[in-house]
């Protein structure tokens, strides 16, 4: 084996990964960070009002603050690279990306989550053609257009709130009987006079030739269908853990199972943030978990050298 063996490789550069990197740098660990981007899902939040120290800050601004803190240290950031596989051979972890292969004594998985899709056959066809998974990115593109937001949680209501600045008619459809978002967000969203809500409904078909021209909603109880003419669909139905590249104990939803010290079922492999089964997916919690993972990895590295 001719390649350099690092003490630690951190996968992901969102809140958990960045915090883990900062802690690792302060402890003088020999490590690298591999990620496809910086900031993770944080950059897509239009407004963060529950991160201690900032009364109100956009997700993009908070991610920039994280990156500025990271840049205080001389950290080797391999980006953009996509992790394809992580395996352990003879007590050494082999991390394969779309560009290279790396080796380390320990790994922290902090790869976060990816948006959940609608699961429709023609969904791929309409991506970027009226179908989007990011209101923060694409809401301004739908000025005076009619749009549908799919979902009933905070991310869905946040999308509605953003779209009220640009869109015309806004529809929101969710399979649940009641919206799950925070009451303050529901109140703010429904102050928009051109918002119509379809509870217990799901998208069963996207209509259009080259671009989105409408959708068909189906009521999950009586199977009645409603056709809506519109130009945009914003999918906000949650996310799935980005953990498919590593063989480790996971929940049925693919979340990596960790203990209170961010240890996984594989010795030397740690995980932190939204990719894990830790309760509540919040930026501030991900940061704390990233710190814990780095401390645990440091202790593991020290013991392995004894």
Q: What is the DSSP string of the chain?
A: --S-EESEEEE--SHHHHHHHHHHHHTT--EEEE-SSSSGGGGG-S-B--BTTBSSB-HHHHHHHHHHHHTTS--EEE-S--EEEEEEETTEEEEEESS-EEEES-EEE---EEEPP---TTHHHHBTTTEES-HHHHGGGGTT--EEEE--SHHHHHHHHHHTTT-SSEEEE-SSSS--S-HHHHHHHTTSTTEEEETTEEEEEEE-SSS--EEEEEETTT--EEEEE-SEEEE-S-EEES-TTB-S-B-TTSPBP--TTSB-SSTTEEE-GGGB--SS--HHHHHHHHHHHHHHHHHHHHHHH-
Output the pLDDT for position 49: 86
Tens-level pLDDT at each residue, the chain (306 residues):
458 999 999 999 999 999 999 999 999 999 999 999 999 988 887 778 899 999 999 888 999 999 999 999 999 999 999 999 999 999 999 999 999 999 999 999 999 999 899 999 889 999 989 999 988 888 999 999 999 999 999 999 999 999 999 999 999 999 999 999 999 999 999 999 999 999 999 999 999 999 999 999 999 999 999 999 999 999 999 899 999 999 999 999 999 999 999 999 999 999 999 999 999 999 999 999 999 999 999 999 999 987
What are residue 228's DSSP bridge partners? Answer: 215
Q: Count of residues for the chain?
A: 306
A 10 A CB-CB count for 3 gives 11
CATH superfamily of 123-235: FAD/NAD(P)-binding domain (3.50.50.60)
Q: What is the CATH number of domain 5-115+239-305?
A: 3.50.50.60
| Residues with Cβ within 8 Å of residue 247, at least 6 apart in sequence | 87, 266
CATH 3.50.50.60 domain residues, the chain: 5-115+239-305, 123-235
pLDDT score, position 1:
46
**How far is Cα 24 from Cα 21, in angstroms, rounded to an integer?**
5
Quote the pLDDT of residue 2: 52
Q: Are strands 76-78 and 131-132 parallel, antiparallel or unpaired?
A: unpaired
C-alpha 296 chain-centroid distance:
24
Integer Cα distance of 157 and 186 in angstroms? 7
Q: What is the pLDDT of residue 46?
A: 74
Q: Are strands 92-97 and 83-89 parallel, antiparallel or unpaired?
A: antiparallel
Give the pTM: 0.83
């Amino acid at each position: 084996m001719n390649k350099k063996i690092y003490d630690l490789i951190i996968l992901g550069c969102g809140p958990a990964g960045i915090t883990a990197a900062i802690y690792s740098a302060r402890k003088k660990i020999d490590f690298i960070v591999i990620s496809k981007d910086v900031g993770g899902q944080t950059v897509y939040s239009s407004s963060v009002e529950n991160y201690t120290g900032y009364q109100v800050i956009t997700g993009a601004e908070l991610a920039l603050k994280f990156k500025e803190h990271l840049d205080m240290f001389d950290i080797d950031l391999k980006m953009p690279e996509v992790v394809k596989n992580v395996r352990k051979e003879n007590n050494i972890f082999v991390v394969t990306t779309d560009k290279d292969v790396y080796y380390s004594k320990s790994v922290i998985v902090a790869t976060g989550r990816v948006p959940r899709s609608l699961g429709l056959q023609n969904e791929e066809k309409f991506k970027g053609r009226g179908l989007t998974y990011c209101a923060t990115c694409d809401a301004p593109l739908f000025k005076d257009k009619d749009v549908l937001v799919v979902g009933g949680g905070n991310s869905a209501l946040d999308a509605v709130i953003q779209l009220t600045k640009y869109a015309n008619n806004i529809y929101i459809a969710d399979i649940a009987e009641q919206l799950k978002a925070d009451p303050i967000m529901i109140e703010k969203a429904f102050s928009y006079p051109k918002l119509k809500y379809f509870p217990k409904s799901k998208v069963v078909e996207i209509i259009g030739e080259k671009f989105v021209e409408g959708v068909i909603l189906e009521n999950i109880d009586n199977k009645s269908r409603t056709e809506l003419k519109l130009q945009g669909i914003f999918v906000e139905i949650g996310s799935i853990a980005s953990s498919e590249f590593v063989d480790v104990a996971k929940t049925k939803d693919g979340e990596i199972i960790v203990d209170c010290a961010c240890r996984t079922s594989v010795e030397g492999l740690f995980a932190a943030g939204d990719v894990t089964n830790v309760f509540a997916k919040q930026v501030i919690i991900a940061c704390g978990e990233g710190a814990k993972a780095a401390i645990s990895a440091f202790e593991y590295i020290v013991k392995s050298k004894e």
